[in-house]
A and B are shown apart, each in its own frame.
Chain A
Amino acid sequence: MKMPLQQLTIGGFRGATQLVEIKFEDKPVVMIFGENGTGKTTIVDAIDFVCNEHAGNLEGRQSTPVKDFLPALGSRASELRVDLKWCTGTWKATLAGSKAKVTGAIARPKAKILRRAQILEIVDAQPAKRYEAFSRFVAVPNVEKSESTLREADRVAREDFNTSARNLDTAREELRKLYREAGEPKPDIQTWAKSKNDTDPQDLNRRSSHISNLIALVEAATRSLTELNRAAGQATSDALAVQSTTIALEAAEEVSEEAKSDLLKLLDSAAEYLTLHENEENCPVCEQPVDRAMLLTRLAARKAAGAAVAEASRKLDSAKKQEERAKILVGSEETRFLKASSDLAKGFQGSNEDSLKAKQIPWDQYAALLGDQPIPNTPENRTSGEALHTICADCLDALRADRDVVAKELENLRAIKNQYGFVVKYAKQAKQLESLSNKLAALLSIVETVRKDFVDNALDSIRKRVDTLYSKLHPGENIGDIKLQLDPNRRGSLNVSSRFESEADVPPQAYYSEAHLDTLGICIFIALAERDATSDTLLVLDDVLTSADQDHVQRFIEMIHDEVKLPVLITTHYRPWRDRYRYAKGPVGNVHLIELLTWTKAKGIRHTKTKLEIDELRDLLGKEPMDRQAVAAKSGVLLEAALREISILYRCKLPFDAEGKHTLGEYMSGLETKLRKLIKCVAIATPQGSSVSNETTTEFQPLLEAIESITWIRNLVGAHFNIDGMNLSETEVRQFALAACALLDALICRKCGELPRKNQGSFFSCGCKAQQLHPLTSPGAQTAQIGN
């Protein structure tokens, strides 16, 4: 893995009061070490600004607006610039208003930045807030929206299917009821229902119509006969009225001469004439002069005397007219009855109804009624009609009963047809809906399962990664087993649980120490950053490790180098971390160490490359005049650091010291003779373009003996004021330093710069495995455990 970040130039930005340019070596890890206030956060903010358009610590703070406080002290906003040179291009960021304005050639790199203040937020946040950090990997709101509509479609389809199935059951039950009512004919209901459904109801309809027609014929004949009888009765009554009014008139005429009806008529005519001819003076009959007024008075008197006769005469006239009308009506009703009788005869004779056949009507007696011509209105024919009517009227109840039976049969058939139709319809509908419902259920099952798997896998993948990283940091500490679970009862809520001692699934916030929570937060952040990473992603850890014991620092270093899959930029003020690299206790060959110098407003942020201790010793050896004390002291410290590691690896016996401090002499004495003879340093190098590795073996004992004979130089020259030391030549001091360098060169890997510390089964190796240290154990000692 290479460092894609090549150069960062910062001007007028936060602590960068002067233009500062940092060039990065092509190593996977950059460590920027600096005391507090030397500009570490400014560098991180600058990366945040250009990569994420984020104002770093000032983002979102109302009390320190970005526009006013992002520019460096004494700088204008227009002077602010951050240039970032990446392996794929260059980006330049300036401040436009309160926002970053970034220009660049191609897709911008991402910087995943974890700051000290954010670490606990990840672990200790409310589940909903924590979910936000994970949501970009697990939140699928659009898919969930479509899943919801699918669920609704499935629900509706199931309801429709259930409704249809219920309708089918009801129709089947109704049909079964009809089947039972029909006596459950063989072979089965299905055959029966189908047969009924195929039955044409026309025959039944025709029979029903025929019976109704017969009944109507009887009823028509009955009505006609009733009308005839009524007319005949009326005619008899009218004839009697004529007789009685004739007698009354004859009686009135006997009472007076004037009562004679013809005289009355003459008197009426004379009075009318005189009234119409007012000027007539003579009688129109005898032509003699008459007293007209007196004549009219006389005529009135004579007419009054015959009024009773006149009334009787009028009544007689009226009675005669009524009698005449009655006779005509009787004739008409007789004709109508004969017609009705004829229709009745024809209707009944042509019928095959069983109830009529049973009557055995003697049709030959009614031949006159069966002819096609109008039937003569004779008393014989009328009698014949009346007789037939009587017979037919007797059949009326039976006909009505037959009609009811047929009507019921028709109704039954209609009901069977209806229910059978429903059964067929709902069966088809239910089948279609069942198929639809099944398909929708299958679709829903796929969407739900795949979605849950997706979310579970995403979380599980993150969880596994967190667990891997965390177990690397805390092996055998009875913590870990991190679990990330969506809260089933709350949308967008993520719970985190872990193991603590013998308890599983406990909230780490409740039991873990702050340091353990810190490292958990860092592991979660790294896991998320890796998941979100592209080929252009830089992981930035801003002062995340403030204090930790040596073992945890070592494991953290190993985690960063062995596990993290991204290029990393680390800032720290934690010196032991930095110094582990300087004393070859980490793969310093893979780290670009940068040291920030003291910040002042006038000078701004300044930096220098951190030197390894051995490089510093070589620098001291190269200076003229040589600083004897510094060379001797540095050589001693380096030897102590290296021999301390050897003593730990081989569990050498050293005098007990409560603080673990030992002198160079004690470390030397601790290395037993047998062990010294066995220790070998093996360097493995593969020349460029070759697939064959070369091994260079260096015996440890000669190197140690070369030092052991002159270790006193360290104390005489490099530790105290000593007159004897002044007598030593520069050559002797140089010899001591060169012996120290030779031993360190033999031990330290030339590729990764690390001492071999990892147990490889039969020897120790460095992180890159290019340097080995044999054997694994001291003669007679137990198997070494260090570095596993």
Chain B
Amino acid sequence: MADNETQPTLTPDEELAATITAAIGAANLVNAQRLPRIKEGLTKGNLTSNDWKLFAELGSATKEGADAK
């Protein structure tokens, strides 16, 4: 084994997750605060139906609005 791994490059999942997240952000469909979670969930494949429902329900609410909930 090498002492150092080769330079990390983005996997297709990571690359696509970033593109999708940017598109969702641009469409203003989801609160910007949730975008990192979406990106991570897409990359790892662990977003559930309920997660998506929650994102959609919370929508593009502002931080204050989201916190108020």
**Chain A interfacial positions (CB closer than 8 Å to B):** 53, 91, 101-108, 110, 136-146, 149-150, 152-154, 156-157, 436, 439-440, 442-443, 446-447, 450-451, 454, 458, 534, 536
Contacts and interface: CB of A to CB of B under 8 A. Distances in A.
A30 to B, nearest CB: 22
A153 B4 contact: no
Given A145-B45, A146-B46, A439-B56, A103 B2 contact: yes
Contacts of A106: 4
A436 B57 contact: yes
A766 B26 CA distance: 50
Q: Which 4 A-B pairs rank lowest in CB-CB distance, beginning with the nearest?
A: A142-B45, A145-B45, A153-B49, A439-B56
A102 B1 contact: yes
Contacts of B45: 141-146
Scoring A139, A142, A440 by chain B CB atoms within 10 A of each residue's CB, the highest score goes to A142
Contacts of B66: none
Give the contact-size bracket for chain B: 35 or more
Contacts of B5: 107-108
Interface of B: 1-7, 9, 11-13, 15-17, 19-20, 23-24, 27, 29-30, 41-53, 55-57, 59
B49 A152 contact: yes
Contacts of B57: 436, 439
Contact of B2 (A91, A141, A152): A91
A103 B2 CA distance: 5
A471 to B, nearest CB: 27
A108 B12 CA distance: 21
B21 to A, nearest CB: 9
Contacts of B51: 149
Given A142-B43, A150-B52, A440-B52, A534 B24 contact: no
B6 to A, nearest CB: 5
A149 B52 CA distance: 8
Contacts of B41: 146
Contacts of B13: 140-143
Given A108-B4, A536-B7, A138 B53 contact: no
Main secondary structure of the interface of A (DSSP, over half): helix
20 contacts: A102-B3, A105-B3, A105-B4, A107-B5, A107-B7, A136-B11, A140-B16, A142-B13, A142-B17, A142-B45, A143-B17, A146-B41, A149-B48, A149-B49, A149-B51, A149-B52, A436-B57, A450-B16, A450-B23, A534-B7
Given A104-B3, A143-B45, A153-B49, A137 B12 contact: yes
Nearest to A110: B6
B23 A446 contact: yes
Given A101-B1, A141-B13, A446-B27, A436 B53 contact: yes
Given A143-B42, A447-B20, 9 more contacts: A104-B4, A107-B5, A140-B16, A143-B13, A143-B16, A146-B41, A443-B30, A450-B16, A454-B12
A222 B9 CA distance: 99
Nearest to B52: A153
Given A105-B4, A446-B24, A140 B12 contact: yes
Given A104-B2, A142-B42, A150 B49 contact: yes
A154 B3 CA distance: 47
A76 B48 CA distance: 55
Contacts of A53: 1-2
A534 B5 CA distance: 14
A144 B44 CA distance: 10
Contacts of A91: 2
Which one of A138, A143, A153 has the highest number of Cβ atoms from chain B below 10 Å of its Cβ?
A143
Nearest to A439: B56
A458 B48 CA distance: 27
Contacts of A447: 20, 24, 42
B27 A442 contact: yes
Contact of A450 (B1, B20, B43, B48): B20
A142 B44 contact: yes
A439 B29 contact: yes
Nearest to B56: A439
B2 A153 contact: no
Contacts of B30: 443
A150 B47 contact: yes
Nearest to A138: B12
